[in-house]
Structure 1
């Protein structure tokens, strides 16, 4: 039977180490592998393997290209395959700023499936630091946590992806108030993810995960987005509409929407781009708008068989006789959000009834400030 593999991610090194040590203690015969990426920008990575007795092996890995993808492909996977026959559990202790999705999908590959089975993706979080870190917009390069040369990601951006992709979250450290605040924040940011403590970790030796299903939980077209909620000062607001958005008015509203929310995401469409499903992703004041492909309503029915069942189900749940699956579905989370003002601001970005009646020919002539951003991303 394939050896179980659990990934442990997290920007907070002490929390991650505590979770890894507990997994080793809970599962006799297990080993943990870690790649230290502090020198990855110079093409060097330090690999270590340990069990409950201490470090078993260390080596310096030199890469043709200093990046996480190369580290996984050239060293992590071969090491896991080599260690699997004599290990009860393989624990992958990911470097601080590594996002678990790419590693999970690399482990869940055809060539290793007879030897390895991915069983859990945990993100360890420091209860004292997490509520503040999700608001920090510093680049990783400025805080000493880049995962590759030229890494342009931001600290809060990486933290959001680590905790939203995981199958389980592990809180460590802090006092009772820190733990309580972290749980309240996580209930808004990742409401479907179970929260554990280091001393009560979830089972990690069961059936293999399907990384396709994990991806569908966070991909824009199928994401399981948070719902309306308020916990003391923390507010999550869901905004939905069928009407198209005016690109100019939405662009003018972006700064206010982003600055006053800590986390926002979802899918939307512009009157100038009726066939494109656009993804909105913002955290700690950093916003990204990307083309996530066509709406199903823009495709011939014969092409629907080429998309996943989850995508078809998401479209069916949002289906409208006139608009198809086109929908504005954005979710904003922040402290003391003024829900009424946010809704009014977003509603003001929709086409008016007169603009809607003018039709597509008129819409395509609107100035579209998003065009430069989307064209740039398409060419990257």
Structure 2
């Protein structure tokens, strides 16, 4: 059963797109988290003459669990109905489509995953051309906009909107930019954070146009491999409208305290940071860093291939094997620093200098693992998920003054 997911902060435009795609045989599901602080999630299902609004109570205080326990069985049920030929799900503005797609692929309903019954044909993100750039560059939190996906949701608007764009197979632009400069800068940002996603005009979109626009190599809901490539597609590496892509790579570990001190450079004048780092005091695990809009999240990305408990080569993707082979070090194996940083005001030379200064010196490198293990480590304690569930997102640790992702779908 084909499944189309619609995400994006432009809620009204997203609902309009879902309406446009409502054809004979299409079931449209719409989630609304605007009353989540009252402990309520609402779901609307339209299928043929049926137009049903269902109120869901938060499952043990967890939005992710509530949506998971409702959406996954619902999709399996719809996929079995002969009258349904396609499913469109419009996610609430604050929902992360990557998290939803992960659950569709990995959470069992009965004895099978939902993707045994449905096939994600595309993830579409709808953008408001008038406001998207300000959202992506701003420091507002979702709470500032009264858009929290959970009572304790601390994400920034920029973190959410950039992750929605990065995960999209197709971008749909609603309205128009207020001026030529905003339009040009928005285009420059999108070309660097989502270079593979074609951009369509909402006024001209229909089901056929969407299907044709999906690139042959689209991810179609495949969650990102934290050990995979950081530059999807072919983003321009030359500056445009003040937007610059900086790649940072090194094959020696970070000193944990110096990295913690240097992290401020990823919050000032930086639109987006994504990548994996190797901290000397934690030699066997990769840490994942994401930043946007003054918010910073540090996640656990699992062991390196060269770690004692690392995965077998045949158990990881061909992409990961290739990347590891290209950078394999005779002593460090596949351990390395790899960050992609999109800036709009910061001096890239200052960022490079700060990160280089956080690496171990030659003398510290010579001290070896036993001494590294004694370093004070600000990244050593991890945030616990709010609910006791067998399926949770990777743990996140909030660093400095920024915020990290929580369990919000």
- Tell me if both proteins adopt one fold, taking TM over 0.5 as the criterion: yes
Q: Deviations over 1:8-38 (max 9, x none)?
A: 01111123123223323xx543231112222
Q: Which moved more, 1:59-68 or 1:156-165?
A: 59-68
> Is the contact made by 2:9 and 2:93 (CA closer than 8 Å) also made in structure 1?
yes
> Is the contact made by 1:140 and 1:151 (CA closer than 8 Å) also made in structure 2?
yes
Q: Deviations over 1:232-274 (max 9, x none)?
A: 3111100111122222222221113322312111111122222
User: Counting helix residues as a fraction of each chain, which structure ranks higher?
Assistant: 1
2:29 matches 1:49: no
Q: Which moved more, 1:205-214 or 1:253-262?
A: 205-214
> Is the contact made by 1:119 and 1:204 (CA closer than 8 Å) also made in structure 2?
no
Rate the CA distance shift 1:378–1:31 in 2: closer, same or farther, 3 A: closer
Counterpart secondary structure, 2:358: coil
Counterpart secondary structure, 2:137: coil
Q: Which of the residues 371, 377, 390 maps onto 1:368?
A: 377
2:187 matches 1:183: yes
> Is the contact made by 1:121 and 1:167 (CA closer than 8 Å) also made in structure 2?
yes
Counterpart secondary structure, 2:254: coil
Counterpart secondary structure, 1:49: strand
Q: CA RMSD in A?
A: 3.3
Rate the CA distance shift 1:61–1:271 in 2: closer, same or farther, 3 A: closer
Rate the CA distance shift 1:354–1:19 in 2: closer, same or farther, 3 A: same
Can you give the 5+ residue segments of structure 1 that lack an aligned partner in the other structure?
none
Q: Which of the residues 311, 321, 345 maps onto 2:320?
A: 311
Rate the CA distance shift 1:269–1:157 in 2: closer, same or farther, 3 A: same
Q: Which of the residues 233, 239, 256 maps onto 2:265?
A: 256
> Is the contact made by 2:123 and 2:220 (CA closer than 8 Å) also made in structure 1?
no
Rate the CA distance shift 1:50–1:213 in 2: closer, same or farther, 3 A: closer
Counterpart secondary structure, 1:76: helix
Task: Work out the CA distance in 2 between the residues paired with 1:306 and 1:136.
Answer: 40
> Is the contact made by 1:48 and 1:55 (CA closer than 8 Å) also made in structure 2?
no
> Is the contact made by 2:123 and 2:221 (CA closer than 8 Å) also made in structure 1?
no
Q: Deviations over 1:299-323 (max 9, x none)?
A: 3688334444443333223322332
Aligned to 1:193: 197
Q: How many residues align?
A: 373
Cα deviation, residue 210, structure 1: 10
Q: Deviations over 1:324-363 (max 9, x none)?
A: 1111111111214322222222212222223323333333
Task: Work out the CA distance in 1 between the residues paired with 2:152 and 2:351.
Answer: 36
Rate the CA distance shift 1:204–1:38 in 2: closer, same or farther, 3 A: farther
Q: Which of the residues 71, 88, 93 maps onto 1:91?
A: 88
Task: Work out the CA distance in 2 between the residues paired with 1:206 and 1:193.
Answer: 8
Q: Deviations over 1:33-81 (max 9, x none)?
A: 1122222333433322347x99733333345445443443443334434
Counterpart secondary structure, 2:278: strand
Rate the CA distance shift 1:362–1:122 in 2: closer, same or farther, 3 A: same
Rate the CA distance shift 1:203–1:213 in 2: closer, same or farther, 3 A: closer
Counterpart secondary structure, 2:249: strand
